[in-house]
Amino acid sequence: MMFRSAVHAFLLGVILLTFALPAYPWDAAGHKVVAYIAWQQMTPDTRDRVIKILRDAPEDSQLAAFYMPYGSQSVGARQREFFMIAATWADMIKDRDMAVRNKKYNNSNWHYFDTLWTEKDGKPVILPAGNEGGHLMEKLADFDKVIRSDASNGEKAIAIAWLEHLIGDVHQPLHTTARVLGGEKDKGDQGGNLFSLTPKGAKEKLNLHAFWDEILEQTTPNTSDLCEGDFLDPIGDSIIKEYPYASLQTRIADDKYDVWEKESVDVATTQIYKDVKRYEMPSDKYKKKALKIARERMALAGYRLGDLLNEVFGVHPADSKQVPAIP
């Protein structure tokens, strides 16, 4: 009993330390909501197989350490939380203080694919210049191949964690574009990272990319100081209710990563830069529009992730739609 208590305290400390790290793409809340929606889409068989594989992750990845094997929660709830945490692992490994894990697993340029574009006569125009270093689309295809192969569970665990995260990223429109305003040498605004929303000289900085990454906190802050599950799970449920699978089914386009990316490019080039100005905080009207767009993107990301995992790991993929949630 004392040994279990000590292990539990250690693991809890690891988790608390991890969530003290800075926020990243779609930030932790957004990625976890996508994973929550996917979890509701996954069959019990798929859930069991995916959790087993994630628990077989290489020790130096520290991914499996986030599964709590005991406690007051049901097994299903612990599995769901572990799956949701796994969706943020690709950002956790950016922590340079964890040198071994960072050096072996971190790849910051896997999180984006910047299609360059500009505006002419009020319409977006995609530029012929190539992507500036981002490998998001390439890695989605790579990890898809891994989970379908005869690779070890350890390799598949890393691939699943990355897919959880990158499928979220490809649905964040500013992870797929860079707006060009200057001449041929202009490499774009780095997905809104160079589009400041705070006045010049302000101590607190916020750019357009960060605003969209932090969309839930920017528009739906946890003002009641709820624990993470009590805060995020209802958000996931409300998105599922607002955008049920059946209403989006014709747009799911399973495994068509290029289709998903094009959707995000279309949103970024036609909607994100409208009604927002440099050095000015977004209006309430803009925030409302942004939240609606983001909630639909998260719904699509969650359903697509869930369908992908059902297809690869489910016993009966054809019967995998809208299974009830595990409490």
pLDDT value for 70: 84
Is 280 inside a domain boundary? yes
* Spatial separation of the C-alpha atoms in residues 268 and 271, rounded to whole Å: 6
pLDDT value for 114: 87
Higher per-residue pLDDT: 181 or 45? 45
Is 163 inside a domain boundary? yes
pLDDT for 172-194, tens place per residue? 999 999 999 876 567 789 999 99
Is 167 inside a domain boundary? yes
pLDDT value for 185: 60
Query: What's the CA angle centered on 112, arms 193 and 133, to 5 degrees?
Result: 95
Q: Residue 189 half-sphere exposure, CB side, CA atoms within 13 Å?
A: 21
What band does 96 get if pLDDT is binned at 50, 70 and 90?
confident
pTM, 2 dp: 0.87
* pLDDT surpasses 60 at 160: yes
How does DSSP assign 214-277, residue by residue?
THHHHHS--TT---HHHHHHHHHHHHHHHS-HHHHGGG--TT-HHHHHHHHHHHIIIIITTT--
193, two tokens: 């990272």
* Spatial separation of the C-alpha atoms in residues 260 and 166, rounded to whole Å: 12
Domain count for the chain = 1
Is 2 inside a domain boundary? no
Query: Averaged over 105-114, what is the pLDDT?
Result: 92
Instruction: Round the CA-based radius of gyration of the chain to a whole number and report it.
Output: 20
User: Percent of the chain, pLDDT > 90?
Assistant: 70
Query: Averaged over 282-309, what is the pLDDT?
Result: 97
Contacts 24+ apart (CB under 8 A), 235-240: 235/29, 235/33, 236/33, 236/36, 236/37, 236/40, 236/302, 239/33, 239/37, 239/295, 239/298, 239/299, 239/302, 240/37, 240/40, 240/299
pLDDT value for 131: 52
pLDDT value for 327: 39
Is 294 inside a domain boundary? yes
* pLDDT surpasses 50 at 40: yes
Query: Averaged over 141-168, what is the pLDDT?
Result: 98
* pLDDT surpasses 60 at 3: no
* pLDDT surpasses 50 at 1: no
Query: Averaged over 165-173, what is the pLDDT?
Result: 97
* pLDDT surpasses 90 at 63: yes
pLDDT value for 14: 41
* pLDDT surpasses 90 at 317: no
pLDDT value for 241: 98
pLDDT value for 71: 83
pLDDT value for 15: 41
Is 320 inside a domain boundary? no
Write out the residue range of the structural domain in which residue 186 sits. 21-314
- Summary mean pLDDT of the chain: 87
Which of the residue ranges 150-154, 196-200, 223-227, 279-283 would you say has the lowest mean pLDDT? 223-227
Is 310 inside a domain boundary? yes
pLDDT value for 316: 54
What band does 34 get if pLDDT is binned at 50, 70 and 90?
very high
Is 196 inside a domain boundary? yes
Higher per-residue pLDDT: 243 or 100? 243
Q: What are the two backbone dihedrals, phi and then psi, of residue 269, each rounded to the nearest 5 degrees? A: -80, -20
Query: Averaged over 131-135, what is the pLDDT?
Result: 72
92: left (phi over 0), alpha (psi -120 to 50) or beta: alpha
pLDDT value for 13: 42
What band does 69 get if pLDDT is binned at 50, 70 and 90?
confident
pLDDT value for 253: 80
Higher per-residue pLDDT: 55 or 318? 55
CATH of residue 84's domain is: 1.10.575.10
What band does 22 get if pLDDT is binned at 50, 70 and 90?
very low
Query: Averaged over 3-12, what is the pLDDT?
Result: 40
